[in-house]
Chain A
């Protein structure tokens, strides 16, 4: 049976799609920034932090990396109110993304830190820097620079994961596509458009990350 595509019926719903894209961007913008921050904190705790903190971070990372994002999201949105922590859909979605990305970012950034030669730490110490100062100025930035591409990929993966947030009625891109297909019965077209938009968003995220990288990381000076 032949199926004739009809994208024209989607045109009326362009504002819905635009809103969906905007909310997905908001999710990944806020979730990405906070998630990477959490990842840096956890990577510090795992490599330099107090000994008692390490098993806790380890447990957090393992628990998150070995359970589906959907269950994490449902646990936060449906489960936490049962113990008195009520969150709006948007708050729950962002919290879930931060916690999820934090765990993956922790592992990625830790790998970068562990690839830093020991001499760097010693050089920092010999300049009378505190451990935290050494971490901040000497270790962290080159470590981030090394793993920046991997971190960018992880953020894109988390953005793809954010499609699931439609299930708790966050009105992001997938929600918009669901809404449109329920109105027009043009499921194939709606999801194709959404998929193409996700592709474009992935390119955008990578470009933004590249831009941030170019701003934050000093060019390697060639003086030897």
Chain B
């Protein structure tokens, strides 16, 4: 179907259940809260190579953080509770504990299952000088560090309702136009709560297919969407497609992922084919692997009639 001269494929994104947690990182200034968050969520694009997927959900004004300082909410996703616990501890220990003036609080929203350990593991860095404080039904650890104290909540919630792998595939007539459409989608999705886009700047250019001609490789380049192979393989591209980009979405809930895809799709459609994308598709594995499916036609922007 067509919307504002942008073709929307009759297909669906296929996504998987994940374990996730959320944190609020604060610092004396917005700059350093942001720095702690960027460092902690770096090298976390895909569970395949990084063990976890992480990103910034949103920036928080001082009024919305526990300690009244500027903050950033980050989300962390992994395939199992064990993996999530492992990467949470490593990342907070190496990237947040070390960041000047930082503090770290749990913030996942509705949680289920045992909470994940946070300060209750990192406290040992205090070498016996760590101090526990409980108030408001929460426990915090004060760990002495060289610029004062690192305040870290003892635990953070875990959600088993998280979804990873929601996606939009954006096709355009040039690299420039496709990137503009993808950027518009990223900007729109950044306003959606409870989701992150783990890839660089929210965008992945190297979409993959399952399997490879080489033994031991689980995934390889998605040749059906590579413009340079258009004539050589069974392509999924149009004659005028010159560039394809993918946006991958992880969310704390399935509803959040759907809302993000809806927002991204609306932004791409609004931009139109002259400046942006000519077509939007989505990635799936035939519907057999992932329990969550998001049909593009169910996520069309309100107020636009398809034709």
- Chains A and B come from one and the same complex: no
